[in-house]
Amino acid sequence: MSDRNDRLSVLKTYKLFVGGKFPRSESGRVYEVTDAKGKWLANAPLASRKDARDAVVAARKAFGGWSGATAYNRGQILYRVAEMLEGRRDQFVHEVADAEGLSKSKATAQVDAAIDRWVWYAGWSDKTAQIAGSANPVAGPYFNLSSPEPTGVVALLAPQDSSFLGLVSVIAPAIVTGNTTVVVASERAPLPALSLGEVLATSDLPGGVVNVLSGRTAEIATPLAAHQDVNAIDLAGADEELATELEKAAADNLKRVVRPQPVDWPADPGTARLLAFLETKTVWHPMGA
């Protein structure tokens, strides 16, 4: 964010992204975000449990429409996200470089990989059911078909270390199948996530499908893990101790839990996260004249 020439730059007020809008934290709190060397970058909203609650309400409200949209439609919207990001590539390279202390070329590689990841997942929208579903040859006069459906509202604790590629790598697979999400951004490096909200808001993604919160991961994640209207939680951004505590809380309504594990974010993501937040529904019908 260094100033060019003698002009004083206009700084951005980073805000949460909830229900397609950009509110400040209801708590009125912010926290200081610095680059890898400790230099001030911005004040980010310090989201509260009430912000988490509002985000869940927004995600639940969006679920019917988003999960009911055609796969083709969802795929096009994810692709649109890639298009929008491509246009703001420089901004994200800058933010990622600052956030993660990367050289420009390394940050560029992260952002390019993140854009390509949106493209990869966009193409999955209308193929997931074909690889995860099945026609079942039951021993009787019945038509029997299994198909995957989105689990519902998913809380995503974005990875702490990979502020943008890691973030995209947990959001895109969750939403492409029709889930809606509440994302807790990397605690130390939330700015790329908050900026992503601005991209999503202009990509035809319905409000509430992705809700982005910044702040203390443990503080926001705890109510999310215990929330009875959250159906699943990805613990990528939780350390071992927090993850265990959250997994226990998640048991209260039997959330689907993805435990934290080491991930090489630039590598081929495979289908594990894509298939993690799906429910298989099997429909039977008799066959008779």
Could you say which of 142, 219, 222, 226 contacts another protein (CB under 8 A)? 142
Contact between 30 and 191 under an 8 Å Cβ cutoff? The reply is no
Q: At 178, which amino acid appears?
A: G
Binding status of residue 144 toward another protein by CB under 8 A: yes
Contact between 196 and 228 under an 8 Å Cβ cutoff? The reply is no
Q: Which of residues 258-277 bind another protein (CB under 8 A)?
A: 259, 272
Which contiguous run of DSSP H or E holds residue 255? none
Binding status of residue 281 toward another protein by CB under 8 A: yes
Q: Which of residues 182-241 bind another protein (CB under 8 A)?
A: 228, 231, 240
Binding status of residue 284 toward another protein by CB under 8 A: yes
Q: What's the rounded Cα separation, in Å, for the pair 272 and 241? A: 23
Q: Which of residues 238-257 bind another protein (CB under 8 A)?
A: 240, 243-245, 247-248, 250-254, 256
Could you say which of 73, 76, 146, 222 contacts another protein (CB under 8 A)? 146
CA-based end-to-end distance of the chain: 72
Binding status of residue 39 toward another protein by CB under 8 A: no
Contact between 27 and 46 under an 8 Å Cβ cutoff? The reply is yes
**C-beta closer to another protein: residue 36 or 138:** 138
Q: What's the rounded Cα separation, in Å, for the pair 151 and 130? A: 17
DSSP E strand stretches across the chain: 30-34, 40-45, 134-135, 142-150, 153-157, 180-184, 210-213, 232-234, 256-258, 278-286
Could you say which of 13, 32, 138, 204 contacts another protein (CB under 8 A)? 138
**C-beta closer to another protein: residue 102 or 263:** 263
Binding status of residue 289 toward another protein by CB under 8 A: yes
Binding status of residue 36 toward another protein by CB under 8 A: no
Give the residue from 193, 162, 164 showing the smallest Cα distance to 260.
Answer: 162
Binding status of residue 287 toward another protein by CB under 8 A: yes
Binding status of residue 141 toward another protein by CB under 8 A: yes
SS3 146: strand
DSSP string of 173-189, one letter each residue:
HHHHTT-EEEEE--SS-
Could you say which of 137, 264, 267, 268 contacts another protein (CB under 8 A)? 137
Q: How far is the CB of 167 from another protein (least distance, A)?
A: 24
Which spans of this chain sit near another protein (rule: CB under 8 A)?
131, 134, 136-142, 144, 146, 151, 228, 231, 240, 243-245, 247-248, 250-254, 256, 259, 272, 279-289
